[in-house]
């Protein structure tokens, strides 16, 4: 068991700052405008993301707003707008159209200031199971390090990931932690909404 804890300690140092455990009782994390996830032009806004919305020369309309669980945001003049499911550019277009009823030639920009909708879960024989935020590219080794190591009887050679494919079907991806730690097999990346199971 000793090699497991040594390995976890090393990976934990590398993973520091990459994966942040969700804790709704904790203070909000600092806005992460440089997040590689949010910087993707194809990023799709999700519930609980925090958006920075700027309307040029309209300080009263410029603000940070959270996406509610129903996928909507609330803004002055235009009330509720569906944000979840859109890219920032698509939301900019929608807001520009809405604001144009009240403002001449509005110039709107939307930035995902804090990514909170992209999460994955770890369950089973780990010291800290639960839901974790996926702020940027994260490997399986880094994700498992965020769970604080394995319990004594964890079957580290039989870990697997439950992932939902684009067509809605589920797939099961095996992961041998021991071999990945030795570099014998690749440590593939975790995707949003993955569930990592440690039997």
- List the domain boundaries for the chain: 2-22+117-198, 36-114
Query: What's the topology of domain 2-22+117-198?
Result: Outer membrane lipoprotein wza fold like (3.10.560)
CA atoms within 13 A on the CB side of 139: 17
Instruction: Give per-residue pLDDT as tens, 26-63.
Output: 333 333 333 556 667 788 999 999 999 999 999 999 99
pLDDT at 187 over 70: yes
Q: How many residues does the chain have?
A: 199
Average pLDDT, the chain: 85
Instruction: Answer whether 2-22+117-198 and 36-114 agree in fold.
Output: no
Per-residue pLDDT, 168: 83
Residues forming a β-bridge with 21 = 132
Per-residue pLDDT, 35: 53
Per-residue pLDDT, 32: 39
Task: Give me the percent of the chain exceeding a pLDDT of 90.
Answer: 71
Instruction: Give per-residue pLDDT as tens, 6-19.
Output: 454 444 444 444 44
Query: If 0-12 CB within 10 Å is exposed, 13-18 middle and 19+ buried, where does residue 169 land?
Result: exposed
Worst-scoring range by mean pLDDT, 31-35, 160-164, 176-180?
31-35
Confidence category of residue 190, pLDDT binned at 50, 70, 90? very high
Q: Which of 168, 177, 182 is nearest to 139 (CA)?
A: 177
Worst-scoring range by mean pLDDT, 82-86, 110-114, 165-169?
165-169
Worst-scoring range by mean pLDDT, 20-24, 92-96, 181-185?
20-24
Bigger pLDDT: 115 or 16? 115
Query: Got the DSSP string for 128-170?
Result: S-EEEEE-S--BHHHHHHHTT-B-TT--TTSEEEEEE-TTS-E
pLDDT at 2 over 80: no
Tokens standing for 36? Answer: 């590689």
- The arithmetic mean of pLDDT across residues 140-166, rounded, is 95
Tokens standing for 32? Answer: 């992460």
Candidates 1.10.287.110, 3.40.1050.10, 3.30.1950.10, 3.40.50.720; correct CATH number of 36-114?
3.30.1950.10
Worst-scoring range by mean pLDDT, 20-24, 34-38, 82-86?
20-24
Per-residue pLDDT, 36: 59
d(CA 81, CA 190): 31
């Amino acid at each position: 068991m000793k090699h497991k804890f040594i390995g976890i300690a090393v990976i934990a140092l590398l993973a520091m700052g990459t994966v942040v455990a969700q804790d709704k009782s904790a203070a909000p994390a600092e806005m992460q405008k440089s997040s590689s996830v949010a910087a993707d032009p194809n990023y799709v806004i999700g519930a609980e993301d925090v958006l920075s919305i700027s309307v040029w020369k309209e300080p009263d309309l410029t603000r940070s707003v959270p996406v509610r669980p129903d996928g909507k945001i609330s803004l002055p003049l235009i009330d509720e707008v569906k944000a979840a499911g859109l890219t920032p550019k698509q939301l900019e277009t929608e807001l520009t159209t809405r604001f144009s009823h009240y403002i001449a030639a509005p110039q709107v920009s939307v930035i995902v200031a804090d990514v909170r909708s992209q999460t994955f879960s770890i369950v089973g024989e780990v010291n800290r199971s639960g839901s974790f935020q996926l702020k940027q590219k994260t490997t399986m080794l880094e994700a498992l390090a965020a769970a604080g190591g394995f319990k004594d009887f964890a079957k580290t050679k039989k870990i697997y990931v439950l992932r939902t494919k684009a067509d809605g079907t589920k797939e099961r991806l095996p992961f041998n932690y021991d071999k990945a730690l030795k570099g014998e097999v690749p440590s593939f990346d975790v995707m949003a909404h993955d569930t990592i199971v440690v039997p």
